Structure 1
Amino acid sequence: MPEAPLVSVRHDPIDVREKILETASTLFYRQGVRAVGVDLVVKEAGVAKTSLYRHFGTKDDLIAAFLQREDADFWSQWESVAAAHPNDPRGELSAHMEWIGARAGRPGYRGCPQINVAAEFPEADHPARKVATAHKRELRRRLTVIAEALAVPAPQELGGQLAVLINGAFVSTPIFDSGEATLMLQRAADALISVASVGRR
């Protein structure tokens, strides 16, 4: 009886890239990007180092891809919430504070990935720093759009204040009791809106 022909197992390049990125994302978030080397990433992913560099070029590119992945996940959630509150900026903002508060207060949460990476890479031209900066600017822009819909006299200022509020929550999780972050965010946002609305015609 003839032997069965040997069949080489070929991995889809997309699957390999995703496996590397998934592994790196977990390690970067848990341990910090500077503490994690490419040797650990390829070991945990079970791939060759050449595969990592084929898909990402450099470790900096891998870090940027990690943040872009987190960025897409964050804005997907944001857009889902926004779509559920058409023409209701106050309700939309409250709903954003609810899911962001839940995100910041969940077990094992280690802070906003963009803020964490920006703290590790102060160089303005670092690829990961650029992704982090763009994310935070987009957050302020979207909050300013909500502030404009609320018709406050100074929407840019309110948008900035709300961004500071949210970013503050992301770095303050150790002081929150279970479920506390959401209520704090919603009440603080209401207070900012009340102050910003003074003098509105």
Structure 2
Amino acid sequence: MRDARSHILEVAERLFYAEGYRAVGVDRLIAEADVAKATFYRHFRTKDELLVAVLEARDARFRAWLAGRVEALAGDPRDRPLAVFDALAELFAADDFRGCAFLNTMVEVANRSHPAHEAAQRHKLRLIDYFERLLREAGVPAADALSPQLLLLIDGAIVTAVREGGPGAAARARSLAENLIATARPGRRRR
């Protein structure tokens, strides 16, 4: 078996994503991870500390996955901002898709000063930075203003995908993003 800390993180992430943070108690985490209570508490003093660690690990994995998928889907940097939506469509089509773990956490832990809420917010800010870089590399002006708008489209698409149960929201959000990007490019007149 992998080290106990990694195993506990893996089990917690699976349960929190599938059932929600508040629905899963520490005793259940310990039982599902098949570790001693002392082992659990040696690695994580509190369930909140565990949730923050889960979010930080998921953030790193998700951003690496997204960057890899975007590059695989779009060889030309000019196509990469829209390829984000194509990558998300793949996630939305998965049978176990339950939305965004970070948005889910923000809803469950609504206190903005809670460490888990702050970790989820850091993830969203890192995505904005990533989108800004993609937009700059694509030659889109005002990338700093446009990147938060793309995140807004993505977050809305995620919620819609949960509501509808499929990938269609990603294509609709992609179309809106395409219009925003086209409007921002030089030579396009704003209406």
TM-score of the two chains, using structure 1 as the length reference: 0.83
Q: Which moved more, 1:20-29 or 1:117-126?
A: 117-126
Is the 1:105–1:176 Cα contact (8 Å) retained in structure 2?
no
Distance apart, 1:29 and its partner CA: 0.8
Conserved 8 A contact 2:59-2:123: yes
Partner of 2:176: 188
Whether the 8 Å contact between 1:38 and 1:59 is mirrored in structure 2 is yes
Shift of 1:46: 1.4
Q: Give the alignment partner of residue 147 of structure 2, picking from 139, 155, 159.
A: 159
Q: Runs ≥4 in structure 1, deviation > 4 angstroms?
A: 82-86, 198-201
Alpha-carbon distance in 2 for matches of 1:54, 1:199: 60
Alignment partner, residue 127 of structure 1: 115
Match for residue 89 of structure 1? 77
Alignment partners' CA distance in 1, 2:155 and 2:28: 30
Partner deviation per Cα, 1:78-115 (whole Å, 9 max, x = no partner): 232354456x3332123221111211232221110011
User: TM-score normalized by structure 2?
Assistant: 0.87
Q: Which runs of structure 2 are paired with 1:22-33 in the superposition (5 Å)?
A: 22-33=10-21
Length, aligned pairs only = 188
Q: Tell me if the contact between 1:101 and 1:185 (Cα under 8 Å) persists in the aligned partners.
A: no
The two structures, once aligned, show a CA RMSD in angstroms of 2.2
Q: Who is 2:40 aligned against? A: 52
Report deviation, 1:67: 0.8
| Unaligned residue ranges in structure 1 (runs of 5+) | 1-11
What secondary structure does 1:75 align onto?
A: helix
Structure 2 counterparts to residues 4-153 of structure 1, below 5 A: 15-84=3-72, 85=74, 88-153=76-141
Contact 1:97 1:185 in 2 (8 A): yes
Match of 1:173 among 127, 140, 161: 161
| Unaligned residue ranges in structure 2 (runs of 5+) | none
1:48 deviates by: 1.5
Give deviations 1:17-47, integer Å, cap 9, x for gaps: 1221111111111111111110110111111
Q: Which of 1 and 2 has greater Rg? A: 1
Measured at CA, do residues 125 and 153 of structure 1 come closer, stay the same or move farther in structure 2, by a change above 3 Å? Answer: same
Identity of matched residues, %: 37
Decide whether the 8 Å contact of 2:79 with 2:138 is kept in 1: no
- Confirm or deny: 8 A CA contact 2:161 2:168 kept in the other structure: no
Q: Taking structure 1 as reference, are residues 101 and 82 closer, same or farther at Cα in structure 2, changes over 3 Å only?
A: closer
